[in-house]
């Protein structure tokens, strides 16, 4: 069996495993899924208009960027251990834990995204540089 096929069989769901069961049914029933692929809703843009060179100029010339601000106050909620005792039963809650750590709670499940606690700088325990 080719190495590429072996790697594909090791993919877990978060890293692109082929959908099956209820997840596949959700995909097939999505109004944005047609002809075997997802379709962006009308009016969705995948990148800013203009050339790549124009985009690069705007990106690297920060002092010339359009300054934007939120339309209103961005809500910030102090979090206590009691708040984190249980994930919400439905919906999404994101809690910034500091630095690059985020606790994502989705439909009663929790996922901690924190690259600094792993042995390697990689989503795979067998690949990527080891931490010092």
The tens digit of pLDDT for each residue in 7-31 reads: 656 666 666 677 888 988 999 999 9
If you search the block for the tokens 């919400």, which residue do you land on?
A: 88
Contact 92, 105 (CB under 8 A): yes
Residue 105's pLDDT band, with cuts at 50, 70 and 90, is very high
Lookup: tokens for 52 = 């790549």
| Calpha distance 69→26 (Å, rounded) | 36
31-79 pLDDT tens trace: 989 888 888 777 666 666 677 887 787 777 777 667 778 888 988 888 8
| Calpha distance 125→117 (Å, rounded) | 12
Beta-carbon count within 10 A of 124 CB = 11
């Amino acid at each position: 069996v080719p190495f590429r096929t072996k790697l594909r069989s090791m993919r877990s769901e978060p890293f692109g495993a082929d959908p099956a069961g209820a997840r596949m049914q959700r995909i097939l029933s999505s109004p944005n899924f047609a002809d075997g692929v997802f379709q962006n809703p009308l009016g969705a843009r995948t990148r800013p208009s203009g050339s790549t060179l124009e985009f690069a100029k705007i990106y690297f010339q920060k002092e010339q960027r359009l300054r934007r601000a939120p339309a209103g106050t961005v809500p910030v909620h102090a979090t206590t251990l009691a708040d984190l005792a249980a994930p919400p039963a439905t919906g999404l809650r994101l809690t910034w834990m500091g630095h690059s750590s985020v606790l994502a709670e989705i439909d009663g499940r929790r996922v901690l995204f924190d690259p600094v606690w792993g042995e390697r700088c990689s989503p795979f325990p067998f690949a990527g540089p080891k931490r010092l």
